Amino acid sequence: MNKTVTIVSCVIFAALLLGYNSRVFSVELFGLFKMNGSTAEDLKRIRDFNPDSDMFYLPDLGDKEFFESVDDLSICRRSEVREHLYTYLTSGREYVKKSIERSYYYMPVITAILKEHPDIPEEIALLPLLESGFNPEAVSRSKAVGLWQFLSGTSSRLGLRNDQWTDERRDIEKSTTAAIRHLRYLYKRFGSWDLALAAYNGGCGQVGRAMDRTGAKDFWSLREHGALSNETSQYVPRFAALVIIYRNRRLSGLSGELNIPRPAATENVQVNTPVTTGELCRICNVNMEVIRRYNPELKTGVIPSYSGTYTLRLPEESLKYWNEYF
């Protein structure tokens, strides 16, 4: 009996100590990214940082799966992740703040959809932070569109409509569902989430050819071989850095700088009669900005009636006006 109690006590103590060490490390980690001198000096300090001697505690990286290493911060053993943390918390700080603020409008929808797909890591909900800064109307230089930045060809294969009335690459629910389907396919093809993310950015062809050419089986080896484009080789460590920042907004000092919006609770309604967005604003007592924010897929001032109906997202407080009119 006493032996059992001793073993259990040791396990509990070890768990508590590990948790304590992790918190201490988190505090020290974000202290590393404060600007102390010139940019060049700071970057050298971050590159030269030795996780085993310069900090109180840092979990081993080992062969952990990508999201596990992000979760326990062991991925910060990689200098490229630390460098992106530094960049996002200094020169990229305003971009990160605006992106996090916009996320409050769309994260509830994205996380609700992800809960229906337990095989997809919950951190995937934060990929729009990297792709578009949570701006559903974002358009890249390569003409990728929406929160998830789909090119026309990819979105067409995933069943997203793009016509004179709507561009479903901007539709929060439909584009999120398409992104989950696409990422699931990439994961099944490459067998790891870091390779799936690299392929999401650079395409299956680039990642597959790089693996065939080098014989490497994981993202970090491909990166060391210089087998990927610069953008794709930076994509995974950049995403890791943004996930860490988002989860540690208080420790990074961002929480006190954020102007957090209060998004309205919304519901879907079925529009089965032709109506303009201007009429909708008048009927539902909302302004055009609200209609655009929650229905960014609309291209014109007319709500289409595909197959007789169109699904529109409205603030709950407007539903009583909607129901009275329709």
pLDDT on residue 188:
98
Query: How many alpha carbons fall within 13 Å on the CB side of residue 110?
Result: 27
Q: What is the CATH number of the domain that holds 192?
A: 1.10.530.10
Residues 84 and 221 both lie in one domain: no
Other C-beta atoms closer than 10 Å to the C-beta of 37 total 9
Tokens of 17: 């100590």
Question: CB of 195 within 8 A of CB of 218?
Answer: yes
pLDDT on residue 251:
85
E strands along the chain, which residues?
266-271, 275-276, 302-303, 310-315
First-last CA distance in the chain: 71
Catalytic: which of 83, 131, 168, 297? Answer: 131
Signed CA dihedral, 309, 310, 311, 313: sign only? negative
Residues 101 and 80 both lie in one domain: no
The domain boundary residue, chosen from 69, 89, 109: 89
Radius of gyration of the chain (CA): 23
Helix (H) or strand (E) holding 311: strand 310-315
Other C-beta atoms closer than 10 Å to the C-beta of 74 total 19
Question: CB of 122 within 8 A of CB of 111?
Answer: yes
Residues 226 and 143 both lie in one domain: yes
Between CA 184 and CA 188 the distance in angstroms is: 6
Residues 181 and 320 both lie in one domain: no
Residues 131 and 154 both lie in one domain: yes
Residues 102 and 251 both lie in one domain: yes
Collapsed DSSP state (helix, strand, coil) of residue 65? coil
Collapsed DSSP state (helix, strand, coil) of residue 286? coil
pLDDT on residue 50:
78
In tens digits, the chain (326 residues) has pLDDT values of 454 444 444 434 334 334 444 555 566 677 777 765 567 888 888 888 777 776 556 788 888 999 999 999 999 999 999 999 999 999 999 999 999 999 999 999 999 999 999 999 999 999 999 999 999 999 999 999 999 999 999 999 999 999 999 999 999 999 999 999 999 999 999 999 999 999 999 999 999 999 999 999 999 999 999 999 999 999 999 999 999 999 999 888 899 999 999 998 999 999 888 789 999 999 999 999 999 999 999 999 998 877 678 999 999 999 999 888 87
Residues 187 and 289 both lie in one domain: no
pLDDT on residue 54:
61
Question: CB of 57 within 8 A of CB of 231?
Answer: no
Other C-beta atoms closer than 10 Å to the C-beta of 271 total 18
Other C-beta atoms closer than 10 Å to the C-beta of 238 total 23
Residues 169 and 241 both lie in one domain: yes
Residues 84 and 102 both lie in one domain: no
Residue 131 known to be catalytic:
yes
pTM over 0.85: yes
Domain of 72, in residue numbers? 2-89
The domain boundary residue, chosen from 49, 68, 89: 89
Smallest Cα–Cα separation from 236: which of 30, 72, 80?
80
Q: Count structural domains, the chain.
A: 3
Backbone angles phi, psi at 145, to 5 degrees: -130, 145
Residues 232 and 274 both lie in one domain: no
pLDDT on residue 316:
93
Signed CA dihedral, 168, 141, 205, 133: sign only? negative
Residues 165 and 237 both lie in one domain: yes
Backbone angles phi, psi at 139, to 5 degrees: -130, 125
Other C-beta atoms closer than 10 Å to the C-beta of 91 total 11
Residues 74 and 14 both lie in one domain: yes
pLDDT on residue 21:
45
Tokens of 242: 């943004």
The domain boundary residue, chosen from 89, 112, 141: 89
Question: CB of 258 within 8 A of CB of 101?
Answer: yes
